[in-house]
Amino acid sequence: MYVSIVLLPFLAALISGFFGRFLGTKGVHIFNVTCILITTLLAFVAFYEVVLCNSPVSVELFPWVLLDSTQIHWSFYYDELTVGMLIPVLIVSLLVHLYSVGYMGEDPHQQRFFSYISLFTGLMLILVTGSNFLVMFLGWEGVGVCSYLLVHFWYTRVSAVKSAMNAMFTNRVGDYFLTLGFFAIFYTFGTLDYSTVFSLAPYISTNVITFISILLLLGAAAKSAQLSLHGWLPYAMEGPRTHENLNWKIKNINSFKNIVIRKYSSKALKVGISDNKKFSNPNPNSKIMAMLIGDLLGDGHIRLNNKQSLGRMEFTFSTQNLPYVNYLKFVAYDKICTTTKPTPWPNPNTGKEVTQYWFSSRFLPFIRELHKNWYIKIKDKNVKVVPKNIGELLKPAGLAHWIMGDGYCSHNAVHLCTDSFTEVEVELLIKVLYVNFGLLATKSIRKRESGVICWRIRMPTSETFKLQNIVARYMIPEMLYKINMNK
Indicate if the pLDDT at residue 70 is higher than 70: no
* Range of weakest confidence among 201-205, 307-311, 459-463: 307-311
Helix (H) or strand (E) holding 440: none
Per-residue confidence band for 375, with pLDDT thresholds at 50, 70 and 90: confident
Indicate if the pLDDT at residue 38 is higher than 90: yes
Indicate if the pLDDT at residue 382 is higher than 70: yes
Indicate if the pLDDT at residue 35 is higher than 90: yes
Amino acid identity, position 345: W
Amino acid identity, position 33: V
| Mean pLDDT (whole number) for 368-378 | 78
Per-residue confidence band for 274, with pLDDT thresholds at 50, 70 and 90: very low
* Range of weakest confidence among 128-142, 253-267, 297-311: 253-267
Per-residue confidence band for 281, with pLDDT thresholds at 50, 70 and 90: very low
Q: What's the mean per-residue pLDDT of the chain?
A: 76
pLDDT for 269 equals 36
37 contact partners, CB below 8 Å, separation of at least 6: 94
Q: What whole-number distance in Å separates Cα of residue 115 and Cα of residue 119? A: 6
**79: number of CA atoms within 13 Å, CB side?**
11
**366 in Cβ contact with 204 (< 8 Å):** yes
List, as one string, the DSSP characters of 320-385: GGHHHHHHIIIIISTTTEEEEEEEE--BTTTBS-EEEEEEEES-HHHHHHHHHHHEEEETTEEEE-
**67, burial (CB in 10 Å: exposed 0-12, middle 13-18, buried 19+):** exposed
Q: Could you tell me the sign of the dihedral formed by the alpha carbons of 379, 384, 385, 387, in that order?
A: positive
DSSP state of 456: E
pLDDT for 108 equals 77
Domain edges within the chain:
2-265, 287-483
Q: What whole-number distance in Å separates Cα of residue 413 and Cα of residue 467? A: 11
pLDDT for 449 equals 62
316 contact partners, CB below 8 Å, separation of at least 6: 299, 301, 345, 354, 355, 356, 357
pLDDT for 337 equals 67
pLDDT for 309 equals 47
142 against 305, higher pLDDT: 142
307 against 439, higher pLDDT: 439
pLDDT for 42 equals 93
pLDDT for 271 equals 33
pLDDT for 25 equals 85
pLDDT for 235 equals 55
**CA distances in angstroms from 176 to 137, 171, 230, 236, listed in the order given:** 12, 9, 16, 21
Q: Which CATH number fits domain 287-483: 3.10.28.10, 3.90.1150.10, 3.90.550.60, 3.20.20.140?
A: 3.10.28.10
267-271, 339-343, 376-380 — most confident range: 376-380
pLDDT for 143 equals 83
pLDDT for 310 equals 53
**261: number of CA atoms within 13 Å, CB side?**
13
pLDDT tens digits for range 85-123 = 888 888 888 888 888 888 777 777 888 888 888 998 898
Per-residue confidence band for 220, with pLDDT thresholds at 50, 70 and 90: confident
136-150, 196-210, 285-299, 439-453 — most confident range: 136-150
pLDDT for 353 equals 55
List beta partners, residue 72. Answer: 65
* Range of weakest confidence among 126-135, 148-157, 358-367, 441-450: 358-367
